[in-house]
Amino acid sequence: MPWKRRPFKSLNLARALNIAQLREIARRRVPGFAFEYVEGGAEDEVTLRGNREALERLRLIPQTLIDTSARHQRVAIFGRPANAPLIIAPTGLNGMLHPQGDLALARAAARLGIPFTLSTLSTTRLEELATRAGGRLWLQLYVLKERAIARDIVQRAGAAGYEALVFTTDANVFGNREWDRRSYRAPGRPSVRTALDMLRHPRWLWRTFVTPGMPRFRNLEGYLPPSATTALGGATVIPPLFEPTIQWDDITWIRQLWRGRLLIKGVLSVGDAERAAALGCDGIVLSNHGGRQLDYCVAPIEVLPDIRRAVGQRLTVLIDSGFRRGTDVVKALALGAQAVMIGRATLYGLAAGGEPGVDRALAMLTTEIDRVLGQLGCNSITELGPQLLQDA
């Protein structure tokens, strides 16, 4: 009988050795609708799969007989030191995975010495996070149809000491996420199947919904009716509130409101990157929203080299979408990204084990980055370059 690999079936966080195994623990710990919200992509999920496929096509070319005993992965992000080339990306509804989801992610980032980005659609108020988390805090901004909400949120972030504002520009027309829609019989009203699934996870239900109360979009309280701020059904309630008319003039408007670092998230073309630089942005995030918006979209890693060449050092170039291994991160750095935003990988850790789970996810990635640097013959991130890659 041929030898077979054993599938990972443990729920023990300490036994997980990689992000894929944290994902498996997370899948079993939370109800299906919550996991599908994290996991799913738009329509046929071609973009979702393509992000991974594009990263997997890139092959590494190691250099040998080099002393790498003094290697490190420290970088500078906007002139400030970071202990790893990582940033925790903005993700909404984190309170559905763990009652202190945003705080757990932010504290783990602070311990590692990397920035954390809070979503507009977070389940923790931005002011509360600023007083409790520590570390470098960035805020992601969605512009809703009522522009005064965005103006007020930007001013609140400035008063709370946030370092950077990440303006997400690829959600003005919301993605067709059919997995989310199947979980609800009407906006904000879960299906019978979803309700029964919640009951099959009593520990999650007690910890996440009963004890702390239903998660809500805390940053939007006071602006919208209570029915629109509940996290239950947020995937179906919030999309109609997004502003479909955002355009480049809005960048000028936001730049006037915000004195800190300003990044545009959702850039995937050379023309858009150059325009961001011309309008005074400090950075861009190459992103297709993790495959959750436009299906059949290019992967950010595929357009990274051309954009990096076009903008030179005028912009800090970050990237997200599909990163699960330290090798993925190293590939992006070799092609010119200055850091990688991590979204689902740390959410798997959060759902699998709360704050210790996030710590474990970050430790997995940084350990892998360190190992790959050594195997490539590099002592620092600055020694990475396209000469170390080959497209399969």
Q: Is the pLDDT of residue 240 over 80?
A: no
Domain for residue 233, yes or no? Answer: no
- Tokens for 352? 């699998």
Integer Cα distance of 269 and 222 in angstroms:
37
pLDDT of residue 211: 84
Domain for residue 29, yes or no? Answer: no
Domain for residue 263, yes or no? Answer: yes
Domain for residue 21, yes or no? Answer: no
Pick the more confident residue, 288 or 187. 288
Pairing of strands 189-190, 283-286: unpaired
Residue 136 lies in domain: 35-177+239-391
Q: Is the pLDDT of residue 237 over 70?
A: no
Total tally of structural domains belonging to the chain = 1
Q: Is the pLDDT of residue 144 over 50?
A: yes
- Rg of the chain's alpha carbons, rounded to an integer? 20
Helices 46-57 + 300-311 axis angle, to 10: 70
pLDDT of residue 4: 63
Integer Cα distance of 269 and 356 in angstroms:
38
pLDDT of residue 2: 56
Long-range contacts of 55-58 (CB under 8 A, 24+ apart): 55/299, 55/301, 55/322, 55/323, 55/328, 55/331, 57/391, 57/392, 58/301, 58/331, 58/389, 58/390, 58/391, 58/392
Domain for residue 343, yes or no? Answer: yes
Mean pLDDT check: name the lowest of 99-108, 231-240, 329-338: 231-240
Contact 84, 73 (CB under 8 A): yes
What percent of the chain lies above the pLDDT cut of 90? 76
Mean pLDDT check: name the lowest of 69-73, 232-236, 329-333: 232-236
CATH number at residue 263: 3.20.20.70
Tens of pLDDT, residue by residue over 176-192, are: 888 777 776 656 677 88
Residue 9 pLDDT grade (very low, low, confident, very high; cuts 50, 70, 90): confident
Domain for residue 85, yes or no? Answer: yes
Contact 172, 245 (CB under 8 A): yes
pLDDT of residue 1: 46
Pick the more confident residue, 225 or 84. 84
Domain for residue 192, yes or no? Answer: no
Residues involved in catalysis: 289
Domain for residue 283, yes or no? Answer: yes
Average pLDDT over residues 17-27: 97
